[in-house]
Structure 1
Amino acid sequence: MKNLLSNIKIEVPPGIYIKNPESSTLGKRIITQSIQLIEAQGFENFNFKKLGLALGSNESSIYRYFESKHKLLIYLTSWYWGWIEYQLVLETYSITQPEEKLKKAIKVVTRTTKEDTTFSHINEVMLNRIVINENSKSYLTKDVDIENEDGYFIAYKRVVYRLAEMISEYNASYSYALSLSSTIIEGGLHQQFIKIHFKSITNCNANTTPSDFFTDVTLKTLSYAR
């Protein structure tokens, strides 16, 4: 199993990048270092000049991979959702009972991330913090419809679809599976954010996780809707 997992590659839509960063040592270093800088400084304060200095490389070399820092952020968030999909499939494929499968799926998409050593050049813990803080900035733009048509957000949408399928499997009569699925996923990020920054307006804390909250909400909603 370990050898099998080591061969897994997370696919990112090719239109997001100019040159696939997975294709070279420099490209992988760009991804590694950008995660560290964005997590430490925030996306607003991040730029390719700072990234080039951190890499010890010319700023122009980064533009051979990404045309803008916005495209780089889309790459990172797309990779993250592809990785979440991989986790979702891996951790639910052998579960046959619909309720247990749904519980596990909710946990996967709302939990605090632990590092996955399968991908040595990407720190998933840091990337999870970036997604919590910066994910909406990848799509709250004037070009969102064009980028959506170009398939930039397909990994995120696949996670929504997979979770929605499990919701429907648990309660086929529920009419709002996609809306509930996207609410769980976005709500999970939001609760992770306010648990850190606005502690006084959430019940999530060291003892109660966003996974606990969304499992409770989802199962009660679906049971009531039967």
Structure 2
Amino acid sequence: MDQLLANIKIQVNDKIYVKDPETSALGRKIIGNSLIIMDEIGFDNFTFKKLGERIGSNESSIYRYFENKHKLLVYLSSWYWSWIEYKLVFATANIPDPLDKLSRALELVTENIEDDLSTEHIDESLLNKIIIAEFTKTFLTKEVDEENKEGFFLIYKRVINRLVDIVKVIDPEYPYAKSLISSIVEGALHQHYLKDHFKTITDCNDKVSPTDYYLDLVKRVLKH
């Protein structure tokens, strides 16, 4: 699957960026180093000035790619969910049993992420840490409805709906498929965060992963 993914260009809504960062060495440098800095100091403390200092470029050159740091974060999250979607499609394509297919899909959206060496400028394990810590900041804004209309979150919603479709095959009578899956996809990020920072309010730990919890939940909720 990694070889197949290596030949695919991750698609991101072109309204999110000014210039596609994938089209130049500087753009790819901006993306890769943004992850490093956000991981070090967090999104709130991240600035284009600090990024420019890190990559040895003028701050103005970064604005040629992204209007502001919010758009950069939306880009990173869109890239992440697009990458997840490709993995989902390839990993579940030849699984005939819908429960097995759902289990594999849930593993992909809830597990710890390792770096995909086929994408040199993006460390997916680092990107996953950013998504866990910062993803909700992409849509908990006053502009969310307008950005949603512009399709900024289309890929994220598409990932959820792919899993919803599988749930409907498993149990057509279950009335809350969308709520179940959206809760799992976002909840998995939250459980990873709790596991690392608020250990006393989660059952997830070094031996029990968020994946274990959600696989158990789904099997208890759905008829099979």
TM-score normalized by the length of structure 2: 0.97
Kindly provide the amino acid, as one letter, of the partner of residue 58 in structure 1: N
Counterparts of 1:115 and 1:137, CA distance in 2: 23
Partner-residue secondary structure (3-state), 2:222: helix
Counterparts of 1:53 and 1:13, CA distance in 2: 28
Kindly provide the amino acid, as one letter, of the partner of residue 61 in structure 1: S
Shift of residue 103 of structure 1? 0.7
Kindly provide the amino acid, as one letter, of the partner of residue 144 in structure 1: V
Kindly provide the amino acid, as one letter, of the partner of residue 91 in structure 1: A
Partner-residue secondary structure (3-state), 1:13: coil
TM-score normalized by the length of structure 1: 0.97
Counterparts of 2:11 and 2:43, CA distance in 1: 23
Shift of residue 99 of structure 1? 1.1
Aligned to 2:193: 193
Q: CA RMSD in A?
A: 1.1
Shift of residue 113 of structure 1? 0.4
Q: Is the 8 A contact 2:17 2:71 kept in 1?
A: yes
Kindly provide the amino acid, as one letter, of the partner of residue 92 in structure 1: T
Q: In the TM superposition, what are the counterparts of 1:1-226 in structure 2 within 5 Å?
A: 4-223=4-223
> C-alpha offsets along residues 137-190 of structure 1, whole Å, 9 cap, x if unaligned?
011000000000000001100101001011111111111111111011011001
Shift of residue 50 of structure 1? 0.1
Distance 1:196 1:43, change over 3 A: same
Shift of residue 135 of structure 1? 0.2
Counterparts of 2:221 and 2:2, CA distance in 1: 38
- Give the count of matched residue pairs: 224
Off by >4 Å, runs of 4+ in structure 1:
none
Kindly provide the amino acid, as one letter, of the partner of residue 47 in structure 1: T
Distance 1:89 1:191, change over 3 A: same
Shift of residue 3 of structure 1? 5.1
Shift of residue 6 of structure 1? 2.1
Kindly provide the amino acid, as one letter, of the partner of residue 93 in structure 2: Y
Structure 1: stretches of 5+ with no match in the other structure: none
Shift of residue 58 of structure 1? 0.2
Counterparts of 2:4 and 2:191, CA distance in 1: 34
Partner-residue secondary structure (3-state), 2:142: coil
Residue identity (%): 51
